[in-house]
Amino acid sequence: MPPRTHLPVNTESVDDYLKAILELSGPPGERATSNALAGHLGVRAASVTGMLQKLAAQKPSYVKYEKHHGVRLTPAGKMRALEVLRHHRLLERFLHDCLGYSWDEVHDDAERLEHFISERLEDRIAAKLGDPQTDPHGHPIPERNGALPARPEVLLSKWACGVKAVISSVSDRDPSALREMERLGLKPGVAITVEAGTRNATLLVRIGERTEPLRLSQRLAAGISVIAANRRSRQHRKIDY
Amino acid sequence: MPPRTHLPVNTESVDDYLKAILELSGPPGERATSNALAGHLGVRAASVTGMLQKLAAQKPSYVKYEKHHGVRLTPAGKMRALEVLRHHRLLERFLHDCLGYSWDEVHDDAERLEHFISERLEDRIAAKLGDPQTDPHGHPIPERNGALPARPEVLLSKWACGVKAVISSVSDRDPSALREMERLGLKPGVAITVEAGTRNATLLVRIGERTEPLRLSQRLAAGISVIAANRRSRQHRKIDY
DNA sequence: CGACAAATTTAGCCATGCCTAAAAGTATAT
DNA sequence: ATATACTTTTAGGCATGGCTAAATTTGTCG
């Protein structure tokens, strides 16, 4: 039986759904659940179901949807999601580098504008920036063809004690956390070593060349991803996401 | 009796209506008619009526609407319309100056983005450009407080023969006309004199320092506004629009 | 004035995308 | 195997902003 209403056109909402599905289904292409999507998008699960039905009914379709078993992106859907992600991260880099935004200011404006970036604007921004590899938080920018460098990132809170690491990216969702990280010198490329594990939900870490270690709240640590220090040079290898 | 549906929120559509009303009601604050708005916005007159009723029912309201007698902007509406216009023209200047757009390319992207420019982005763009006075087509950019320089512009086709004039602005709606003007050196600031009036819907004009006059099609001439050559220096006087 | 043409408004409908409440399916633990 | 908890879908509704067709108003010309 067809969905109650007719097919949706390609709208901002659709972009948001695709981006959320990309983020919630792991790299291999697992399914994303309605509930997870609802939480991520700030809408009710029932609304998600409705939208997924409509998206799946499109032809060509962006998603493969199986009732009660979640949703996956089709190649076309993955491509579109990566395009929107590229817009977002290019915009963040652009606002930061060309318009003097601090790294805690870029997310909201990029989120709003990402849906309205023409191919032309995308190309001009990328050219102006010299085809940047990452956004200001260290996240890789998908290429125009959809290639996205895969990095063996691990959350700082899961990193082994005593092993040298380098910050590869930080979460861009919490501006106040970003300001705090900025103050502490916690940014992509900086060396970091965990001195002691969780104690009262904090981590004892040594940052860069500093001698005295620092206590990091779980809130901050949860927003930091690292890679092994010696693999830093490999972070530009590209694979299909 | 209240309108059939409830009040509209502040949406892109509303911005488009306000901008259209601003453009269609002359500087003194004349009323704009439903038909003219419909034509300008590319929707049916009935849709315009519906939206005007909803806009007028808002409090505080952006418009003053009298059934069968058109609509006017309230001060708040004028302010909002000028803000959107400022976004549009700043964006055009920005795309042109910072991202290498040609002047026939800027309009469409600016039109799409103008609704999503935060105060922060507006300010950063203006600062980056050094608070520009005009967009690439010569149209004045409203200031943040809503001030807009008034210029005694006249359409080239209405300008008296033999009187020296300076191009003050050109219409940005027709990309192919803009490319043609570019080729002919017809841009803001260039001196122009009408040698002979309409003949087969063309104008004979002398451009800049060139010796041989040129035949301009009515289509091009209709997109060119001029001011008296000696008033050129006064074009930055500000008044409340 | 009266009639016609043009402009405008009303009435009723459609599509999108969200919502709540209730029904149905899935998964887990005894 | 079945009861229960949780997830997901269905059903029905609301708001926005379009549309067409039909009514109504305005304005102009004899």
pLDDT tens, B128-181? 999 999 999 999 999 999 999 888 898 988 887 888 899 999 999 899 999 999
Q: Do residues A19 and A52 share a domain? A: yes
**Is the model's pLDDT at B82 over the cut of 90?**
yes
State residue B97's pLDDT score. 97
Residue B122 has a pLDDT of 98
- Does B128 sit within 8 Å of A98, measured CB to CB? yes
Looking at this predicted complex, what is its ipTM?
0.86
Instruction: Examine residue B162 and state whether it is found in any structural domain, yes or no.
Output: yes
Q: Are residues A137 and A182 in the same domain?
A: no
Across the interface, whether the CB atoms of B109 and A99 are under 8 A apart is answered no
Task: Write out the two tokens for A11.
Answer: 């709208």
Residue B66 CB lies within 7 Å of the nucleic strand D: no
92-131 of chain B touching strand D, CB 7 A cut-off: none
Which bin fits B226, alpha (ψ -120 to 50), beta or left (φ > 0)? beta
Q: Choose one of A77, A109, A129: the last residue of a domain.
A: A77
Domain co-membership, B71 together with B102: no
Decide if pLDDT at B237 tops 50. Answer: no
Residue with tokens 């034509």: B39
B36 touches strand C (CB under 7 A): yes
Q: Which of residues A35, A55, A77 is at a domain's end?
A: A77
Alpha-carbon Rg for chain B, nearest whole angstrom, is 19
Helix (H) or strand (E) holding B240: strand B238-240
Whether residues B130 and B113 share a domain: the answer is yes
State how many domains chain A has: 3
Range of the domain at B206: 154-231
pLDDT level of residue B197 (50, 70, 90 thresholds): low
Q: Is the CB of B49 under 7 A from strand C?
A: yes
Do the domain assignments include residue B3? no
Question: Beta-carbon neighbour count of residue A190 at 10 Å?
Answer: 17
For residues B169 and B128, state if they share a domain. Answer: no
Q: Could you tell me which residue, B65 or B214, shows the higher pLDDT?
A: B65
Is the pLDDT confidence value at B3 over 60?
Answer: no
Average pLDDT over residues B49-74: 95
- Residues B63, B94, single domain; the answer is no
Q: How far is CA A157 from the centre of its chain?
A: 18
Q: How many angstroms is C1' of D26 away from CA of B69? A: 10
Q: What is the pLDDT of residues A4-46, one digit of tens each?
A: 445 677 789 999 999 999 999 977 778 999 999 999 999 999 9
Asked if pLDDT for residue B233 goes beyond 50, the answer is: no
Q: Is the pLDDT of residue B2 over 50?
A: no
pLDDT band, residue A2 (cuts 50/70/90): very low
Weakest-pLDDT range from A20-24, A94-98, A219-223, B134-138: A219-223
What is the pLDDT, as a whole number, of residue B116? 97
Q: What is the pLDDT of residue A54?
A: 95
CB pairs under 8 A between A and B: 43
SS3 A215: strand
Q: Is the domain of A181 the same as that of A205?
A: yes
Task: Tell if A50 CB is < 7 Å from nucleic strand C.
Answer: yes
pLDDT at A197: 65
B158 and B221 co-located in one domain: yes
Q: What is the pLDDT of residue A203?
A: 85
- Residue B232: pLDDT band with limits 50, 70, 90: very low
Q: Is residue A203 part of a domain?
A: yes
Strand C at less than 7 A from CB of B52: yes
CB atoms within 10 A of CB A220: 24
Residue B226 within a domain = yes
* Residue A1 forms part of a structural domain: no
The answer to whether residues B70 and B123 belong to one domain is no
What is residue B6's predicted lDDT score, i.e. its pLDDT? Answer: 56
Residue A170 placed within a domain:
yes
pLDDT at A233 over 60: no
Q: What is the mean pLDDT of residues A212-221?
A: 88
Extended strands (E) in A56-201: 63-65, 71-73, 147-149, 154-155, 165-170, 191-199
State the average pLDDT over residues B58-63: 91
Distances B110 to B55, B103, B113, B175 between C-alpha atoms, Å: 25, 11, 5, 14
Residue B238 located in a structural domain: no
Distances (CA, A) of B66 to B52, B73, B98: 9, 12, 44
pLDDT of residue A17: 98
Q: Which positions in chain B touch A11 (Cβ < 8 Å)?
A: none
Q: Judge whether A65 is closer than 8 Å to chain B, CB to CB.
A: no
In terms of Cα–Cα distance, which of A124, A123, A171 is closest to A143?
A123
- Chain center to CA of B62: 20
Tell me: pLDDT of A119 over 70: yes
Q: Is the CB of A58 under 7 A from strand C?
A: no
The answer, for B98 touching chain A at a CB cutoff of 8 Å, is yes
d(CA A105, CA B38): 39
CA B106 from centre of chain: 14
Q: Do A131 and A92 fall within a single domain?
A: yes
What nucleotide is nearest A49 when CA is compared to C1'?
D9
Report A:198-227 residues touching B (Cβ under 8 A).
none
**Interchain CB contact of A59 with B (< 8 Å):** no
Helix locations, chain B, DSSP H: 12-24, 34-41, 45-57, 75-99, 106-113, 119-129, 175-184, 218-221
In which band, very low, low, confident or very high, does the pLDDT at B240 lie, cut at 50, 70 and 90? very low
A217 and A171 both lie in a single domain: yes
* A54 and A89 inside one domain: no
**Do residue B118 and residue A124 have CB atoms under 8 angstroms apart?**
no
* Nearest protein residue, CA measured to C1' of D18: B47
Residue B64 has pLDDT above 80, yes or no: yes
Domain containing residue B227: CATH number: 2.30.30.90
Phi and psi at residue B24, to the nearest 5°: -90, -25
pTM for this predicted structure:
0.88
In a domain, A241, yes or no: no
DSSP label at A33? P
What's the rounded mean pLDDT across residues B93-99? 98
Interface test with chain B among A109, A119, A122, A123, by most B beta carbons within 10 Å: A109
- A198 pLDDT tier (thresholds 50, 70, 90): low
The answer to whether the CB of A26 falls within 8 A of the CB of A32 is no
**Taking CB atoms and an 8 Å limit, are B109 and A124 in contact across chains?**
no
Specify the CATH number for the domain of residue B110. 1.10.10.10
Q: Is A112 an 8 Å CB contact of chain B?
A: yes
pLDDT of residue B35: 96
pLDDT at B19: 97
What residues of chain A lie within 8 A of the CB of B95, using their CB? 121, 124
B35, B61, B77: which is the final residue of a domain? B77
pLDDT class of A196 with cuts at 50, 70, 90: confident
Please compute the mean of the pLDDT values over residues B84-91 and round it to a whole number. 98
